[in-house]
Amino acid sequence: QKEVEQDPGPLSVPEGAIVSLNCTYSNSAFQYFMWYRQYSRKGPELLMYTYSSGNKEDGRFTAQVDKSSKYISLFIRDSQPSDSATYLCAMSLSDLEGGTGFQKLVFGTGTRLLVSP
Amino acid sequence: DVKVTQSSRYLVKRTGEKVFLECVQDMDHENMFWYRQDPGLGLRLIYFSYDVKMKEKGDIPEGYSVSREKKERFSLILESASTNQTSMYLCASSFPPTTNYNEQFFGPGTRLTVL
């Protein structure tokens, strides 16, 4: 079983739809949860991050974490064609490893989202 | 803006060749990372470095080595390229976390094909 599971899609929606992207994970020690967006032929860029459980909103985007269910979600309201990209969830532990200050990120496989005009 | 650049966008090499992938960041970040990205497998960490001349193995270091002679530059080396190393290679950098989290900034990636 993978540490982080994410449906690869593609997920196709019309412009204006509400989009829900999800990841499940198995390691209850994860404390930091991130969503990266990756456009075609580009590197991932951080979209949102949350610490522990709860919701975080940024414009049309809402990140939600349910640690009891080991489930995280990203909601996109009023989706736009420019939102078409691959969305990767990522998570990390709270403790710094080995005193180096490095935190390993564990990524989902990514969900490809297509928003049609 | 943070900028992470990678030396090539596309690269085609033959089996057995020695391959160098270069990454440069301009934000004075201490940490640098090399990942590979494959369909259905996501991003997997190959190596990382938290300081000049320091390196640590990631999840899949076999067949790879790295070099960090200067703070801004992190090189990934395939000593003898094989077809199963055909992949998208992504470099990233970050500051050491002052809290328990710090953002990783990614380069545009190098798509390597080994024939």
Give the C-alpha distances (Å, rounded to integers) separating B64 from A26, B24, B40, B75, B79.
Answer: 29, 18, 21, 10, 7
Nearest to B97 among A31, A45, A103 (CB): A103
Q: Given this model, what pLDDT does residue B99 score?
A: 56
Task: Read off φ and ψ for residue B18, nearest 5 degrees.
Answer: -90, 130
Q: B10 — contact with chain A (CB < 8 Å)?
A: no
pLDDT of residue A85: 97
Domain count within chain A: 1
* B:57-86 residues touching chain A, CB 8 A cutoff: 58
Mean pLDDT lowest among A9-13, A53-57, A92-96: A92-96
- Tally of CB atoms within 10 A around A10: 11
Nearest residue, CB atoms, A102 vs list B9, B50, B109:
B50
Residue of B nearest to A86 (CA): B42
Using 50, 70 and 90 to split pLDDT, how confident is the model at A58? very high
- pLDDT per residue, tens digit, chain B (115 aa), is 669 999 999 999 999 999 999 999 998 888 899 999 998 888 999 999 988 888 999 999 999 999 999 999 999 999 999 999 999 999 999 877 655 567 889 999 999 999 9
CB contacts, 8 Å: B54 with chain A: 100
Range of the domain at A86: 4-116
Closest chain B residue to A43 measured between Cα atoms? B108
* A contacts of B42 (beta carbons < 8 Å): 4, 6, 88, 107-110
CATH classification (class only), B4-114: mainly beta
Query: CATH no. for residue A32?
Result: 2.60.40.10
Q: Which two tokens stand for residue A113?
A: 């989202």
Query: What pLDDT, on a 0 to 100 scale, did the predictor assign at position A94?
Result: 60
Q: Given CB atoms, is A58 within the 8 Å cutoff of chain B?
A: no
pLDDT, position B101: 61
pLDDT category at A74 given cuts 50, 70, 90 is very high
Min Cα–Cα distance to chain B from A107, Å: 6
Of B50, B101, B106, the CB nearest to A100: B50
Rounded mean pLDDT of A22-49? 92
- The overall longest dimension of chain B from CA atoms, in Å, is 44
Identify the closest residue of chain A to B58 by CA–CA distance. A104
Q: Would you give the end-to-end CA distance of chain B in angstroms?
A: 37
pLDDT in tens, A95-111: 555 455 556 789 999 99
- CB-CB contact of A107 with A89 (8 Å): yes
CA distance B71 to B7: 16
Residue A44: closest CA among A108, A96, A116: A108
Task: Say if A18 is an interface residue toward chain B (CB within 8 Å).
Answer: no
The answer to whether the Cα torsion of B80, B83, B84, B88 is positive or negative is positive
pLDDT at A92 over 90: no
